Chain A
Amino acid sequence: MSNEAFHGHADVITTHEVHHDEHGVHHHKQSFVTKYIFSQDHKTIAKQFLITGMIWAIIGGLMSVLFRLQLGYPDQTFPWLEDILGNWARGGKITPENYYALVTMHGTILVFFVLTGGLSGTFANFLIPLQVGARDMASPMLNMLSYWFFFGGSIVMLSSLFIQTGPFSGGWTAYPPLSALGDASPGSKTGMDLWITAMSLFVVSSLLGGLNYISTVLNLRTKGMSMTRLPLTIWALFFTAVLGVLSFPVLLSGFILLLFDRHAGTSFYLSDIYVSATSQALPNEGGSAILFQHLFWFLGHPEVYIILLPAMGMASEILSVNSRKPIFGYMAMVGSLFAITILAFLVWAHHMFVTGLNPFLGSVFVLLTLLIAVPSAIKVFNWLTTIWKANIKFTPGMLFALGFVSLFISGGLTGIFLGNSTLDIDLHDTYFVIAHFHIVMGVSAFFGMFAGIYHWFPKMFGRYMNRTLAYIHFWVTLAGAYLIFWPMHYEGLAGMPRRYLDYSNWASFNQFGDLNKFISTVAIIVFSIQLLFVFNFFYSIWKGRKVTTLNPWGAATLEWTTPIRPGHGNWDGEIPEVHRWAYDYSKDGRDYIPQTEPVSPDESKH
C-alpha cells in the first residue's frame, strides 16, 4: 500500500530518535506538558483514556452501589448518605429524583464514558500502532484532540451532577417527551442541556478517534502486514471504529432535534401533550416521540457492539497466546466480526417491539436479530476449540479472557429470548433485560477490558501487576457477577419492571425483598474488590515487579518487539517487517514463532 511514503516518514523519526540519544541528558523538546498532558504519543493518549475511564468507572460504580442500597434496603435510612449527597438524601433516604438521576448517570457513564471511551479509547490507541507496526496514529494531532474532547465532555457531564435541579434523570436512553420537558421532570431542566452538550462532545471525540483508527489500520501497516496477517484485536478495533463512525452522527442528529424541541419551539418529537404539573397543554402538534427512538437506537444498538467487539478481539488474542495455540478459525473469526458489524446496523428496532411498531416491520427485525446469534455462536465455538488440547497458562489476562467467554455465552443466550418479539412483549423493560445486558455487554466487556489491562500492563508501564491481587480480583468478580445478575432473570420472569425506586407497594413484585438485599450486598463486595484492582493498578505503575524480558508472555505479535519501555516512535531502529500471521504457536515443535521471522522453506503449511 503506502509503504514507500511511510518508510520515508519512519526514517525521519529514526534520525530524530538518534539525535536524542546523542544529546542524552537534556530532553529539551519534551516538556512535562507535551509529554504527559498534551501528548501526541498514542501510548500516552491511551493511558489518558484508560485513567479517565477508570475514574469514571469508580464514579459510575459508586452510583450503582448507592441506588442498590435503596433497592436492597428500601425501608432503612442511612444518615451518612445525607453527608455525601446533601439534599438528595434528606434524612438518609435517597429521594426519587436522586434515585433516577443515579440510575441515568450510571447508565450514561458506564456505556459511553467507560466502555466506549475507556475501552476503545485505550486499546485502539495503544494497540493499533504497536500491532500493525506504525510509529504512531495517522494523525497524532487529531488523536490528541480526541482525548481532549472526551475530557471536555467528561467535565461537562460531571458538572451536571452539581447543579441545583440535578443531572438528567430520564434514563440513559433519554426518550422524549420526558427528556424534552423540564416541567415533566426536574432532571430535564438544565441537567439535560448539559447532558446533551457532554454527549455531543463525546460524539466528536469518538469520531476523531474512529477516523484515526480506521486510517491507521488501512494505511500505516508495516511491510508485509497484509490485512489477513493482522491480529484479531486489530480487526475487532477496526470494525468497532467503523461502527462508531457510521452510527454516532445519527445520534448527534437526534440530539440536535431534541435541542430544537427543548429551546426553539419545534415539534420533532412532541405532540398532544398536557403537562399535569403546570396544568397546561403544550403548543406542539404533529411530532413523533418514536422518531427519537429510531435515531437513538440506530446508534444504540451498534453501540452494544462498539463495546463488545474490542473485548472479543482482546479475548481472542489473549486466549491464543496463553493457550500456546493458534486461534481456531482465524478467517471465520474475521468473517463473524464482519457479519456482526453489518448486522449491527440492521437490528435496532428490536428495542422497540412494544412501541406500537408495525408488526411486520417487527418481524423483519426478529429475523435479523436472531441471525446475529450465528456469528456469535461461531466465535464461541472457535474460542472453545482454541483452548481444546491447549497448554493453558492461567495468567490474570487469560483468566479474564476465559471469564469473558463464559459471560458472553450466558448473556448472549438470553439475547435470544429478548430478540424474539413474542417473548419481548412479556420481558421488555423487566429485570430480565437488566440481567441480559449487564452480563453480555456490561460485565463481559469489563472482563475483556481487565484481560487487556493485565495482559498489556507490562507493555504500558514496564512493570507487572500483582498476580495474587489479580487472582482475587478475578474469582470474586466472576462469582459476584453471576450472583448479582443470574437471579435477576427470575425477577424478570415475575414481570418485575426496571427503574422502580421501591417495589414494596406492589402485590406482584414485593416477593423479592430478600433477594434484593442479597444482590445489593454482593454488589457492594464486588465494587470494593474493583477498588482493590484500582489500587493494584496504580501501585504497580510505580512499585510493580519490573519487566526484564522483551516478551514476557511469549507472544508472536509486533508490540513485543519494541523496547521494554518504548519511546515516542515505538521502535528504536527500523520498523520490523512481517512475514507471517500472528498465531504461530506450538508450530513444528517450537513454542512460538514471532511475526517478524521469515518463513523457512522446511516449515509445515497450515
Chain B
Amino acid sequence: MTTTGLLLLAILALGFLITFQIAKASEYVSVLKGEKKSFEQNNRINGFLMVVFLVLGLIGVYLCNEALYPKTLLTHPSASDHGVNIDTMLWITIIITGIVFFITQILLFWFAYKYQYSEKRKAFYYPHNNKLEVLWTTIPAIALCTLVGFGLYYWFKITGEAPPNSMQVEITGRQFGWIYRYPGKDNTFGKKYFRMINEADGNILGLLWKDTTINTPNGETHLTADPLGFDDIVETSAMYLIKDQPVKLIINSRDVIHDVGLPHFRMKMDAVPGTPTTMWFTPKYTTEEMKKITNNPNFEYEIACDQMCGNGHYSMKGLIKVVTRDEFILWRAKQQAAYKPAEAPATAQPAAAAADTIKATGSAASKSDLTAKK
C-alpha cells in the first residue's frame, strides 16, 4: 500500500465518521425539537431540493450538450447514404423523445415541490379518470406508430438488396484483426474451406488452391482446387472502397463472433462463424474529403469490432480507405493475388485417399463458397 492510498482511505473513513456523527446528532435534535417539527423542516428542505435538482439538472443537460456535442459524429455529415437516413431518423426520435423528456421530468419535480406536505392542504382523492387514461394511451401509441413507420421505411431501404452494380468485398474477422478479400479480375470469389486455413503457407482464408484430401469427423473429404480463387486478392492492411460506388460486404468470421462496426458510415453487422452475413452502403466522401470535412488532417475511417471477441477485443481495428475510381484502379493494379502454387504437390497424402473421394466432394466446399454473382 502506498502512503497516498492509505491517506485517501483515512480521509474517506474520517468523512464517513463525520457524516455519521452529524446524522446521529440530527436524530437527537429531532427528538428534542419534536417529531412533527423536524419532519416539517426536513420535508421543506427536500421539497426545495426537488426544484434545485430540476433547475441544476436542466442547466446540466445544456452544459453537457455544449461540451460533448462537438465530439460526436453528428457535427459532420454521415459518410454513407444509409448513414444520412439513420441521422434523419435519429433527429426525429431525439425531437419526439426530447419533448416527452422535458415535459415529464419538469412535471415530476415541479409536482413534488408544489404538492409537498402542508397542514392546510388536503390531498385530492382522485382514483381514476377513464378519459385521461385513454388520452395517454392513444397519444403515445400514435407517436410510436410514427416512429415505427419512419424506422421501418429506412430499415427496409438499408437492409434491402444491394444495387446490381455493387462492388463486392469480403471481410473476415479473426482474433484480433480483419482480413479483406477482393475477387480479382474475374470478379468472382474462389471457394474456400476453413480446414484449408494454413497461416504458415499464407492461406489465411483457406482458399482451395490445390486438390486435397483431408480427414474430417465425417470421413475423408476430397476438395478440388478452385481456379476462380487464384486471382483473389487477400489484404490485411486496409479495405479500399470507391467513392459513390455501392459496396456489398460479405462478412465472415474465422473463430468467434466479431462485428464490423463502421461509425462514420453508421453501419454495423456481426461476423458470425459458419453463417456469412452481408451489408451494403455507398460511401459519399473519400478519406481525403473527410479530412477536410472533419477538420482533422489525421482522419481515417476505422473499423471497430463491436462484439466482445476476447481479450484483444479493444485492439481489433481495421481501416477503410475511400478513394476515387482512378485511385482505386491504380491501387488494385499494384496488388498481387494471394495464390501460391504448391511447390511439392500433395506431400503427405494417405494411400487410401482415392477410394471414396467423390461422394464428399461438393458438400463441404459448397458450404462456405461465396461465389460473387456478376
Using a CB–CB cutoff of 8 Å, the interface residues on chain A facing chain B are 79-80, 83, 96-97, 100, 169-171, 175-178, 181, 184-186, 270-277, 279, 281, 283, 285-290, 323-332, 354-356, 359, 362-363, 366-367, 370-371, 373-374, 377-378, 380-382, 384-385, 387-394, 399, 402, 405-406, 409-410, 413-414, 416-417, 420-423, 425-426, 428-430, 466-469, 471-472, 475, 478-479, 482-483, 486-487, 490, 493-495, 497, 499-503, 505-509, 511-512, 515, 528, 531-532, 535-536, 545, 583, 585-589, 606
Contact = CB atoms under 8 A, between A and B. Distances in A.
B68 interface: yes
B157 to A, nearest CB: 9
A589 B123 CA distance: 9
Contacts of A186: 311
Given A325-B123, A367-B152, 15 more contacts: A100-B310, A271-B273, A289-B274, A328-B127, A329-B128, A356-B275, A367-B148, A377-B140, A394-B47, A409-B101, A430-B306, A475-B53, A495-B263, A528-B16, A588-B125
B172 to A, nearest CB: 10
Nearest to B113: A392
Nearest to A494: B72
B236 interface: no
B61 A486 contact: yes
B239 to A, nearest CB: 16
Listed from nearest, the 7 A-B pairs whose CB atoms lie closest are: A495-B263, A271-B274, A356-B277, A359-B159, A490-B68, A389-B124, A394-B46
A237 B122 CA distance: 31
A420 B146 CA distance: 11
A513 to B, nearest CB: 11
A274 B147 contact: no
A212 B89 CA distance: 46
B20 interface: yes
Contacts of B72: 490, 493-494
Contacts of B364: 285
B69 A423 contact: no
B225 interface: no
B112 A387 contact: yes
Interface in B53-68: 53, 57, 60-61, 64, 68
Interface residues of B, number: 132
B194 A273 contact: yes
A171 B83 CA distance: 28
Contacts of A586: 122-125
A171 B118 CA distance: 50
Given A380-B104, A394-B116, A80 B1 contact: yes
B363 to A, nearest CB: 10
Contact of B308 (A171, A363, A585): A171
A406 B147 CA distance: 23
Contacts of A535: 16, 20
A1 B115 CA distance: 41
Contacts of B61: 486
Nearest to A175: B257
Given A423-B93, A425-B86, A366 B194 contact: no
Interface stretch (B227-235, B295-303, B325-333): B295-303
Contacts of A472: 19, 23
Contacts of A388: 111, 115, 124, 126
Nearest to A468: B23
A377 B136 contact: yes
B257 to A, nearest CB: 6
A384 B255 contact: no
A385 B314 contact: no
Contacts of B218: 285
B158 A422 contact: yes
B133 interface: yes
A409 B315 contact: no
29 contacts: A80-B2, A97-B311, A100-B308, A175-B257, A177-B255, A178-B310, A271-B274, A276-B174, A277-B175, A328-B127, A366-B151, A370-B144, A374-B137, A384-B107, A405-B108, A409-B108, A420-B151, A423-B90, A425-B267, A425-B268, A429-B261, A430-B306, A467-B27, A468-B22, A487-B68, A505-B317, A511-B71, A528-B12, A535-B20
A272 B193 CA distance: 8
B111 A387 contact: yes
B92 to A, nearest CB: 10
A11 B142 CA distance: 55
B109 interface: yes
A413 B158 CA distance: 24
B73 A288 contact: no
B74 to A, nearest CB: 6
| Residue among A279, A362, A429, A479 with max Cβ neighbours from chain B (10 Å) | A429
